[in-house]
Amino acid sequence: MGLHRFSSVSYFRNFIFGVEDSLVSTVGLLSGVAIAGVPKATIFLTGIVLLLVEGLAMAAGSFLTESSVEEYTHKAKGSIGGNIISGTIMFFSYFLSGFIPLSPYIFWPVDVALKLSVCFSVIALFFLGVVGAKMSDTRILKDGLRMVFVGGIAIAVGMFAGSILSNPIIKNNMNGYVINIEKASIENENFRKVLYTTQNSQLVVMSLKPGEEIGSEVHQLDQFIRVETGSGKTILNGFEHELKDGSAIVVPAGVEHNIINTSDVEMKLYTVYSPPNHRDQIIHKTKADASADEEEHFDGKTTESP
């Protein structure tokens, strides 16, 4: 009888703890990153990762804790089956409850989703307090408001942190860069030359000899390319497109791409990486030089770094 009551209390505790912790931590994190100006897709991905990782961590913690408590209380080996159930309850209560603050980011723009996420979470916290009060036969209003108060503090902390991130204390000391990019591209004789680098973008000029190509590659960043002189073709995820003077190519992250000069003159072009892809101010005179350079990737230093 004692063990049965212990298991019931354990299940109830894990349910309340899982739901409450999921609502509080998820809405706090999502509110913080939303205020910081993070794109909606990234916010959603962040939420999913949080729910999976934290849900599993909470489940494992619940299993180990309940096992230790039973062993200590009854001086005997704990119920493996019962503790697995406790861990399972913890995982699903945490994972599923997290979609309450996360779901608005699926259907609405970030500014609207932020408000709805907070509202949904506060309402859910209140009802969780009500459910807990009914099951434990305590004061409904008191428990509901207490749950809202505790959750509200975490939400406020997350939003405060996000507001700080969106308004950095450290001032950006970069002054910007102006150049006649057409002239710079046409005059460039190097396979690759990095002109200017910030933390979020990079301007590069390139030159391809007749018959030369960049080589098929995939970047985990976005890229814009414009042809200033010459003609040829680009291949994006297996589809060919003709290129000539003035052609522009937008290459989203993850797209396999290649630029090929099919003309009898050099192809001059420039590209903008977002974020940077190469070390600042690097110059590769030939494609062979670029292929041989194992340390050419962006190292975090910008053009105007001190």
CATH code for the domain in which residue 269 is found:
2.60.120.10
**What pLDDT shows up at residue 290?**
94
In a domain, 206, yes or no: yes
Distances (CA, A) of 107 to 26, 97, 121, 176: 17, 17, 16, 37
In a domain, 109, yes or no: yes
In a domain, 305, yes or no: no
What total of structural domains would you count in the chain?
Answer: 2
**What value does the mean pLDDT take over residues 49-66?**
90
The whole-chain average pLDDT of the chain stands at: 88
* Element holding 160 (H helix, E strand): helix 140-166
89 and 192 co-located in one domain:
no
237 and 128 co-located in one domain:
no
218 and 159 co-located in one domain:
no
Q: How far apart are CA 222 and CA 259, in angstroms?
A: 15
Which residue, 257, 213, 220, is CA-closest to 237? 257
**What value does the mean pLDDT take over residues 162-189?**
81
**What pLDDT shows up at residue 161?**
73
Evaluated on CA atoms 19, 24, 30, 34, the torsion sign reads positive
68 and 132 co-located in one domain:
yes
In a domain, 200, yes or no: yes
Going by pLDDT thresholds of 50, 70 and 90, the confidence category of residue 166 is low
Q: Decide which of 118, 141, 166 is a domain's last residue.
A: 166
Q: Decide which of 119, 135, 166 is a domain's last residue.
A: 166
162 and 36 co-located in one domain:
yes
For β-strands 239-243 and 232-236, DSSP reports them as antiparallel
Domain extent, residue 259, equals 181-292
Q: Decide which of 139, 166, 193 is a domain's last residue.
A: 166
* Element holding 288 (H helix, E strand): helix 287-292
Question: Could you tell me the pTM of the whole model?
Answer: 0.60
Provide the percentage of residues in the chain whose pLDDT is more than 70. 90
Determine the 3-state secondary structure of 279 from DSSP. coil
